[in-house]
Structure 1
């Protein structure tokens, strides 16, 4: 089969590899579309596996059941499936408390889906047993269904912090995730959405997703600008959705007294963020870290992604054959693309 194989930081080669064997209790999914995620790009361009290569990334996977194992009875050849990468045991304290995104069963969490930058992927029986695989209706495109995964964490974040009417919301980072946040926040009833980024191209595209005000932080002080647009009070809620410590530092200066700040974007491992703790203390600022989504949130996010209410066509700006994965990475990094979806079976 054809696959985009990583041999080191920035060294991604599209080549022929061995098709995976079908587990007796599992299945083989023929991948029809796979989204290119920001975390994929971060992993592909850094020494994410500490020298353990070659490796195939890709986790926003949708496709058709191509083969089933002799002991697998739930799915049949030809079924259209969305493969959510998260897997939860539903038995540990975290799962039982409603925070299955923090499942502590290491064997189960190791089932997280990857290997999507290829024409086929094997799905183990344990993954099928524990769930996180959803059927795609016939009238929904594979491209639209692939957005179910990146939308999941955004859906969970806004759900957890109860974004709604009449919130004013600042989103730092106008990448695909930031645009998802803006669109969903508007659907949920947020009244003023302010988007901050360094890239004018991205900021201009963000206006299509419900953003009311854009701020280019390379041209003006974003803290002063947010204060100006919120009558000097600061926003009700601020989400730092970039992989930068500096935006976390800035975020607490953009929120109102008694407001809420969310650290959504992961920053470099081992790095520390400098925070004005007196400001947090005396202004009664709440700070929440966000990662992942619970089981029910993943299902609801998938249902939203495939619904007619969600404008998937606006988010997917580029559809490329797998052979052009490096082009897709560059389009995303420069801000020319909001969302790139790769087709493993298309020819370049």
Structure 2
């Protein structure tokens, strides 16, 4: 009889059940990980609360994974039992034209995390393809698995800040005060931004921004975000305006609040089929740069991991809740209401 493990299975939109399923066997050429920490991401919540798999259920999500190697297939010498590793969810091929051009976030042969079971479970197996491609990083002894799990969400924000070249003296507006907004605020400050403006419709999220170097917060459920940005910049607008939320309204607003010659970033994906109404004359006459951001290159993934485990990075201020996997539904609700900034789940920790 197969050994069982705890897992959070999605049976449909909003139907997430904590139950036992067979523990995965070690695949030929692969390895099995004992999941120590798995962050709850905004995309996880979107997937878990919508018909993300078009009826193909049950399924285990979770892609911000850190764990210890539990079992290794014969002949695999890259991993040792007991190693703590962070696993980037997408293994780029590093051979296609995009990978070779430094744009591995657009890899045409990527091993995607949505095609196989994820980290909201006690154990997770990885195939020989993952061993071949890597995209795993050894977590040094003494570094918290919970802190290291921030490497995945940090990777995309690290790449964004680098790609749009946030630099000394810049003013930056960020629409969205969730974990991504927190990361972007911290990174903007680290790169020398003179002023960081954080905007959200949820005052509870804005209230958590104090440790992240934010100069101004704007509750856009009460105030007009564009008017307020223009006010605090003396009518100039900002050098970099980033829509880090899943709305088309935010995409139009970053065009309006970016200064002439500035950069407007579409960071957060919006629901499929939703189209933004863009004032193209504004783009034209203000000579705006519009940048659509997604993912990170393989080198940016590595650099983000190194930053996430650096003691100087404020991981403990971003992670507001650490919960056992059995409380995943509570974690989703805490995140949706804004009470939690970032929740990390621990599948192998029992409820107290």
Report the TM-score when normalising by structure 2.
0.97
The aligned length equals 347
Q: Give the Cα–Cα distance (whole angstroms) in 2 for the partners of residues 112 and 72 of structure 1.
A: 23
Deviation track 1:13-60 (CA, whole Å, cap 9, x = no partner) reads 000000011012010000011100000000000000011000000000
1:326 equivalent in alignment to 2:332: no
**3-state SS, counterpart of residue 258 of structure 1:** strand
- Distance in 2 of aligned mates of 1:60 and 1:293: 14
- Alpha-carbon distance in 1 for matches of 2:113, 2:43: 17
Q: Secondary structure at the match of 1:67?
A: strand
Match of 2:33 in 1: 29
> Which residue is equivalent to 1:198?
201
Equivalent residues in 2 for 1:214-253, closer than 5 Å? 214-253=217-256
Note the alpha carbon deviations across 1:259-299, whole angstroms, 9 max, x for none. Answer: 00000000011111001100100110110000000000000
Matched with 1:316 is 319
1:14 aligns with 2:18: yes
1:74 aligns with 2:78: yes
Deviations 1:186-216 (A, max 9, x none): 1111110001101111111112211110001
SS at match of 1:40: helix
Is residue 237–residue 260 contact of structure 1 (8 Å, CA) maintained in 2?
Answer: yes
Q: Report the equivalent of 1:147.
A: 150
Correspondence 1:209 to 2:212: yes
**Kept after mapping to 1: 8 A contact 2:59/2:117:** no
The alpha-carbon distance between structure 1 residues 109 and 329, as it changes in their structure 2 partners (threshold 3 A), is closer
Counterpart CA distance in 1 for 2:321 and 2:114 is 29
Measured after TM superposition, the shift of residue 256 of structure 1 is: 0.4
Q: Distance in 1 between matches of 2:312 and 2:167?
A: 17
**TM-score, normalised on structure 1?**
0.98
State the Cα distance separating 1:90 from its structure 2 match. 1.2
Distance in 2, matches of 1:185 and 1:233, equals 19
Match of 2:64 in 1: 60
Post-superposition offset of 1:76 = 1.1
Question: Residue 92 of structure 1 corresponds to which residue in structure 2?
Answer: 96
Contact 1:234 1:255 in 2 (8 A): yes
Task: Flag as ranges the 4+ runs of structure 1 deviating above 3 A.
Answer: 108-114
Measure, in 1, the Cα distance between the counterparts of 2:336 and 2:171: 28
Query: How far apart, CA to CA, are the structure 2 residues paired with 1:113 and 1:50?
Result: 15
277, 285, 288: which one aligns with 1:285: 288
Task: State the SS of the aligned residue for 2:85.
Answer: strand
1:114 Cα shift? 5.0
- Superposed displacement of residue 164, structure 1: 1.6
* Contact persistence 2:171–2:196 (CA under 8 A): yes
Distance in 2, matches of 1:306 and 1:274, equals: 40
Which consecutive unaligned segments of at least 5 residues does structure 2 have?
none
Q: Deviations over 1:127-150 (max 9, x none)?
A: 111110000000101011100101
Q: Is the 8 A contact 1:144 1:305 kept in 2?
A: yes
Q: What value does the CA root-mean-square deviation take over the aligned residues?
A: 1.1
Residue in 2 that maps onto 1:115: 118
Q: Which structure 2 residues correspond to residues 174-189 of structure 1 after superposition, within 5 A?
A: 174-189=177-192
1:110 shift after superposition: 6.6
